[in-house]
Amino acid sequence: MIRDKFFDRRNYIEILQKRVGSLKDGYRQNIAIIGEENVGKTSIVYKFLDNFYDPRIITVFLEVRPGSFQDFAKRFIGALLYNFLLNSGLELKEEIDFLLAKSAGYIPNTALKIKAILNELSRRKKVNIVNELFSLPELIYQETGKFTVLFLDEFHNLESIGINNLYREWSKLLILQKNTLYVITSSMMFKTRVILSKQLSLLFGNFEVINVEPFDMHTSGRYLDHRLPAIKLYPGLKDFIINFTGGYPLYLELISDVLSNSIEGRVCLPARPGLASDDQNRENIYTNLADILEELLFNTSGILNQRFSNYIKRFLDSPVSNDYISILYLVASGRNRIKDIAHILHKQKKELASRINYLLELDAITRSGDFIKVSDRLFAYWMRFVYQEKIHSLSYDAKSQKEKFRDGLIELIQEFLRQSQKPLSSRIFELLQLFEDDLMQFERKKIRLNHFREVKQLAFNHRLLKEGLLGRSSESLWIMAIKPEAITEQDIAEFSRECKKYHHKSQRKIMVTLKEVDPNARLRALEEKVWTWDLNSLNQMLDLFSKPRVVA
């Protein structure tokens, strides 16, 4: 997302406002903002910076790029001086010599230190200069009383600029610097978590980790309404777009932009006899959606086709590239159990584990117990319907490939619409029938998804709880209550009493809702040993079994 199209994300902005505001009160909490590419991390920082002003706080945004240390050091100094002078009333130039000369009258000691750093960049040990470089904000504080908030975008690229013992030296400064707040962002989530837990795990100066997630279902719907005010999207297709994109702001933006342009720029077709204008509009949008996704994902010039083609190149230089591509394709196609992948690829457990670990380190996939998931839903669709078809095609003519793509896409839409029309209890019933004794990761716990020899509907004789499910295996008994509305403490108490009617040594009590679980209700659920599934939990489960998400 770009700056002028910022939408929602108030919770993340509020965290930044609170942490930066506390800096002047003597409380410093460094922040790490992590999330997948295109999820909107940088746009959150931009939005915060656009609206922030405090004469006692200098904000510095610096994109960390792969390159030389000399280049990074000069950009660091230039950005620091520029933002120090930003509200001075001076006409500024983005030149270090100019900025240094203008700053010398306000921060003479800092200016002298910067001159020394610039003179010694090519001669001194980089590790010493790193200490001096990152100490500059503290020098400015000593001379002016101004705090510094330093935003390092994609900070993991620091490793590529050739600094020995980077994190060991930086961690020493993080402990001592009380007047400098670091906000680091990274799309390399796996790598960043390792760095924060091992190299930068400090007694003081620790980083608060903020996970930026894609838009949830509700926010995705509001975003589409906001971007397409003149278009009445058929609810089923709107829900499909939300499911298809996984709530990624960039993908929602691209689809809504092209959809808006295609509708506004199209000469309206005459309505067929007996077909209302709204129905005609829905039919046209349905057709246009297939055209739009073909344009973005299939065509060689398509923005997302180019993006995913470039992304997959990172795996092609490896001598085992076929293994990586095969794993991604299998998982994208729904064969995402590790045991199934090993069987299909004829790989030993150890060999497969090394391939999976590599993909995990690159954040290409995530793991949940015995299951693997491609991190980016739209990339998974592209792998399944575009990439694999093109590399296996025996014809230079893309016509047949395009037809298969459209056929697969239409089938995907129709399957989503079929599933979305089913009652929630029926969808969960079908989900339980897919369990095969695999493990999944759920809220830091590993849960065994027992293979049930019997799954049946339950009816509760209660005013608030009406329907549920029972799954019986030799190892356990699952008792479920399904309430699409919000769960209350009273619901949990009533459900817990109902469960006492069943006797099994290993009983799992589950309540399913499509709303967020109230903190008090969640606490009561813990006391009663009731496992609560909200909409997000349910969709995580559906993802593991390659089933369309519930959009509510």
List of E strands, 87-153: 147-153
**pLDDT at residue 536 in the model:** 92
Q: Given this model, what pLDDT does residue 515 score? A: 92
Mean pLDDT along residues 76-102: 92
CA angle 296, 302, 304 (to 5 degrees): 65
Least confident range of 194-198, 284-288, 308-312: 284-288
- Distance (Å) of CA 408 to CA 290, 379, 399: 10, 15, 14
Query: Considering just the CA atoms, what is the radius of gyration of the chain in Å?
Result: 27
Structure tokens at 492: 């949990």
Per-residue pLDDT tens digits for 157-166? 988 887 777 8
Asked whether the predicted pLDDT for residue 109 surpasses 80, the reply is yes
Q: At a CB cut-off of 8 Å and minimum separation 6, what does 476 contact?
A: 448, 450, 504, 506, 507, 508
**Higher pLDDT among residues 542 and 391, named by residue:** 542
Q: pLDDT digit string (tens) for 337-391?
A: 999 999 999 998 889 999 999 999 999 999 999 999 999 999 999 999 999 877 7
With 50 as the cut, is the pLDDT of residue 456 above it?
A: yes
Characterize 464-500 residue by residue with b for buried, 16 or more Cβ atoms within 10 angstroms of its Cβ, and e for exposed. ebeebbbbbbeeebbbbbbbeeebebebbebbbebbe
- Inform me whether the pLDDT recorded for 11 exceeds 90: yes
Cα dihedral 150→151→154→155 (10° resolution): 20
Does the 3-211 domain belong in CATH 3.40.50.720? no
Predicted model pTM:
0.87
Q: Which CATH architecture has domain 424-544?
A: 3-Layer(aba) Sandwich (3.40)
Give the residue carrying structure tokens 């006797």.
Answer: 503
Do 64 and 47 meet the contact criterion of CB atoms below 8 Å apart?
no
Average pLDDT, the chain: 88
Look at residue 124 and tell me whether its pLDDT is greater than 70. Answer: no
Sequence ranges of the chain with CATH classification 3.40.50.300? 3-211
- The CATH 3.40.1350.10 portion of the chain extends over 424-544
- Tell me: the pLDDT tens digits for 389-429? 777 766 666 778 888 888 888 888 889 999 999 999 999 99
pLDDT level of residue 268 (50, 70, 90 thresholds): very low
